[in-house]
Chains A and B, each alone.
Chain A
Amino acid sequence: MSRSAFLDLARPSRRHWLGYLLLLPAVLLIGLIIAYPLFVSVDLSFQNVGIPRLDQPRRPFTTMNYERLFTSPEFWNASWTTLKLVVIVSFFCFLLGLGTALLVNNRFKGQSLARLLVALPWAVPEVVAVVVFAWIFDSSFGLMNWVFIRLGLVDTTISWFSSPEAAFAVVCVTMVWKGYPFVSIMMLAGLQSIPEDFYNAARVDGANAWQRLINITLPSLMPVLGVTLILVMLWVFRDFSIIYVMTGGGPLKATQTLSIMTYEQAFGFFKMGYASAIGVVTLIVCVIASRLLMGRAPENI
């Protein structure tokens, strides 16, 4: 009899006791390395501080970092660059990701190899992708200049990394190549969960391939599409390595996003209070985006 009481999973006391105990290590670790740093970050953004010394009393409260930030053309410039990058890169990631997913969702011999290859860039570290594209777009011996001249698009070589527009384009190309496989993987998973019966029924009704795509495939993909879109936009929004290693934010700040500006202010100029203020602005954007995500994928939570 005593054993059956012990067995009772529904007995509140036991369930709670063990549940809390199991959560404890994660709560401690997350508190220490994520929640506390977040708090410090917000706190720093309200102080006039260069390099923080956390073991000393905090500086007086001030909103000067935010006042400086919102009146700084550099900040608005970086926001605009970030927005452009997010829109352009996400759009092409989607085009390429959805296209490749639809392509390899067809049945053919070698399908699994094609799936593997199509998503391969996902497994390439970002800095390695930068090395590849920095070389392809090299101004003297890069492949792209040769291709452009051969095609008759330009007559002289382009110095990709000295022109603001060209450098921005190269960053976009690199990010799309690194980012589209994720869309492809997610879309393929979504495509495979669409029942075959839908298509058979549509064929019986005489729908052609285009009509099937518009009326069945895309609507069925919508939930996955929404989640993936937010995740890709957030990835572009947050990215640091690709831009920093490729252009450092230049030339003439043409590729300076909010992430790059945060980092430059913090570790280039050692204005960490000011940098934290930019960081807090990016934090607010991320929180809003992740709330949107949760609204779209309730079962995921």
Chain B
Amino acid sequence: MKRKLPAAALLYVTVIVTCALLVFPIYWLIVTALATPAELRALPPTFWPTAPRWGVFAEIIEQRPILLWLGNSVLAAAGAVTLSMLVSVLAGYSLSRFKVRGGQSLGLFILTAKMLPATLLVIPLFGIFRMTGMIGSLWSIILAHATLIVPFTTWMLKGYFDTIPRELEQAAMVDGCSPLGAMVRVILPVSAPGLAATALYGFVLSWSDYAYARTFLTNAQTNWTANLGLTTMKGEYVSNWADISAAALIVALPVLLIYLFLERYLVGGLTAGAEK
């Protein structure tokens, strides 16, 4: 016992120091947002705000259309996730349960599509959206985000359906369900946690996009997403870091909250493929 105590203390110190260093940038973002202009220019820097300006968030929301940007991001994510989930639930189920000719090639294509750089697809998509008059509308972003989300969700869902025993459907069909009915009434309800995790993952992917929003929405200010709006603030406001930090925190908040409360589901989806 005597020998174990210093080892345990050392472990705690290492863990605390490591966590503190790695999370420090997020802490620093919060401190900066709450700092007064004088504190921002002070050296040595203020590590603990003496008079935190809690009003900064209300101010920045009043001065900047941040709520509009957040609303647009939510709309884009909702549209892209809905569209992606609709097609990938069906496709994931098919890839998991049926032997379809060409299914494997489709699977390989989807897996490769997961690796595509946005800078490659953004050029032809620009051409297509220009031709159809969609540049500047949220529809362009919904479709562009679906290119990011569909490959992920299809694979995640196929993996999830693979873990559900086939006996469930067989039992349902013995009870008189059609194959489609077995899927809708038995498999989908059982898969609810997996579906939720997959949809959340899609939401995070959509929320994090900058490249497509920058390309398709720059000239349509009323449709700016949160990330796009935030970067325009960085460009113009070189000196006012408190405001930018406050806006950055607001933009990061939804995904941070999802992570903090639903970490288990998100991480489960992320590692599902690698463990097996």
Neighbouring B residues of A263 by C-beta, 8 Å: 119, 122, 211
B184 to chain A, nearest CB (A): 11
Determine whether the beta carbon of B245 is less than 8 Å from that of A135: yes
Interface stretch (choices B48-56, B60-68, B189-197, B249-257): B249-257
Contacts of A182 in B (CB 8 A): 270
Q: Mark A133-155, 1 if CB is under 8 A from B, else 0.
A: 11110100101001000100000
Per-residue 0/1 for A256-284: is the Cβ within 8 Å of any B Cβ (1 yes, 0 no)? 00011011001100001001100110110
CB neighbours (8 Å) of A123 from chain B are: 204, 252, 255-256, 258-260
Q: Provided the pairs A141-B43, A245-B231 are in contact, do residues A190 and B23 lie with their beta carbons within 8 angstroms?
A: no
Given A103-B14, A124-B26, do A9 and B120 touch, yes or no (CB 8 Å)? no
Let me know if B115 and A122 touch, CB within 8 A: no
Check if B91 is an interface residue, CB within 8 A of chain A: yes
A19 near B14: Cβ-Cβ < 8 Å: no
B174 at interface, CB cutoff 8 A: yes
A246 and B152 CA atoms in complex are apart in Å by 27
Q: Are A108 and B256 in contact (CB under 8 A)?
A: no
Residues on B with beta carbons closer than 8 Å to the beta carbon of A35: 109
Closest Cβ of chain B: how far from A174's Cβ, in Å? 9
- Given B86, B100, B123, B180, which contacts A41 in the complex, CB threshold below 8 Å? B123
Q: Are B244 and A29 in contact (CB under 8 A)?
A: no
Q: Are A272 and B255 in contact (CB under 8 A)?
A: no
The interface size bin for chain B is 35 or more
How far does the Cβ of A301 sit from chain B's closest Cβ, in whole Å?
6
State in angstroms the CA–CA spacing of A18 and B177 once bound together. Answer: 14
Q: Does B95 contact A (CB under 8 A)?
A: yes
A177 at the interface (CB under 8 A from B): yes
CB-based nearest B residue for A279? B120
Q: Complex: how many Å from CA A234 to CA B256?
A: 24
Chain B residues 67 to 123 lying within 8 A of chain A, measured CB to CB, are 83, 86-88, 90-91, 93-95, 97-101, 103-104, 106-123
Would you list which residues of chain A between 96 and 119 have a CB under 8 Å from chain B? 96, 99-100, 103-104, 106, 108, 110, 114, 116-119
A–B Cβ pairs within 8 angstroms, 10 of them: A19-B94, A30-B151, A100-B22, A103-B14, A131-B244, A132-B28, A186-B270, A190-B275, A262-B117, A301-B108
5 extra A-B contacts, CB within 8 A, seeds A54-B130, A267-B126: A33-B147, A41-B120, A117-B22, A138-B241, A301-B107
